[in-house]
């Protein structure tokens, strides 16, 4: 299981912390997150991980739904090119998310709220560094309010 620091409060203007949803493929990126945890590599606790069979399995609507439900940024991470257990799922994912970024720009959302990367099972340090970067980027962008449904 991935190890994180204690989660800070995420409500109130003075205590706002970005919320990041990370979709990780089971075979590489989730194992990389797990390695970061067992290696006790610290990374921000702002990330909530969703384990999927392959990055190619992720429908771009999942990412929009996450943003709609309050995520400030979304990360998709799969196996490196050539390592996908389903041959080319990661390459299909890369094409889908490049198009999604164009769509986000078109509708007025910051495309930087969606990030795509590769992390292998042996790259716990790389996983932690990517989470640091995505959380920092989300912090710079501020709260995502454009797609969030008012209560």
Q: Does residue 2 interact with ligand FES by CB under 6 A?
A: no
In whole angstroms, how close is the CB of 86 to ligand FES at the nearest point?
A: 5
Q: Look at residues 26, 83, 35 and name the one whose alpha carbon lies nearest to residue 55.
A: 26
DSSP tag of 1: -
In whole angstroms, how close is the CB of 24 to ligand FES at the nearest point?
A: 9
* Closer by beta carbon to ligand FES, 44 or else 89: 89
In whole angstroms, how close is the CB of 118 to ligand FES at the nearest point?
A: 8
Sole residue written with tokens 């920092």:
136
* Closer by beta carbon to ligand FES, 63 or else 147: 63
| Count helices and strands in the chain by DSSP H and E runs | 4, 4
Q: Look at residues 22, 24, 67, 64 and name the one whose alpha carbon lies nearest to residue 47.
A: 22
Contacts with ligand FES by CB under 6 A: the residue count is 13
Q: Which of residues 25-84 bind ligand FES (CB under 6 A)?
A: 25, 27-28, 54-56, 78-79, 84
DSSP for 73-85? Answer: EEEEEEPPTT--T
In whole angstroms, how close is the CB of 50 to ligand FES at the nearest point?
A: 14
- Residues with Cβ within 8 Å of residue 57, at least 6 apart in sequence: 89
* Closer by beta carbon to ligand FES, 18 or else 56: 56
Q: Does residue 97 interact with ligand FES by CB under 6 A?
A: no
Extract the tokens encoding 126: 């790389």
Would you tell me which residues interact with ligand FES (CB under 6 A)? Answer: 25, 27-28, 54-56, 78-79, 84-86, 89-90
């Amino acid at each position: 299981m991935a190890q994180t620091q204690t989660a800070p409060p995420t409500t109130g203007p003075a205590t706002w912390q970005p919320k990041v949803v990370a979709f990780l493929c089971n075979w590489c990126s989730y194992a990389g997150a797990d390695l970061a945890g067992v290696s006790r590599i610290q990374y921000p606790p702002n990330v909530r991980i969703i384990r999927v069979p392959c990055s190619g399995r992720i429908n771009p609507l999942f990412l929009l739904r996450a943003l709609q439900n309050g995520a400030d940024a979304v990360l998709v991470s799969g196996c490196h090119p050539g390592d996908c257990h389903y041959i080319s799922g990661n390459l299909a994912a890369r094409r889908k998310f490049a198009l999604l970024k164009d769509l986000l720009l078109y509708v007025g959302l910051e495309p930087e709220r969606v990030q795509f990367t590769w992390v292998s099972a042996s790259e716990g340090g790389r996983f932690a560094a990517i989470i640091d970067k995505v959380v920092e980027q989300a912090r710079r962008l501020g709260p995502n309010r454009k797609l969030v449904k008012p209560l």
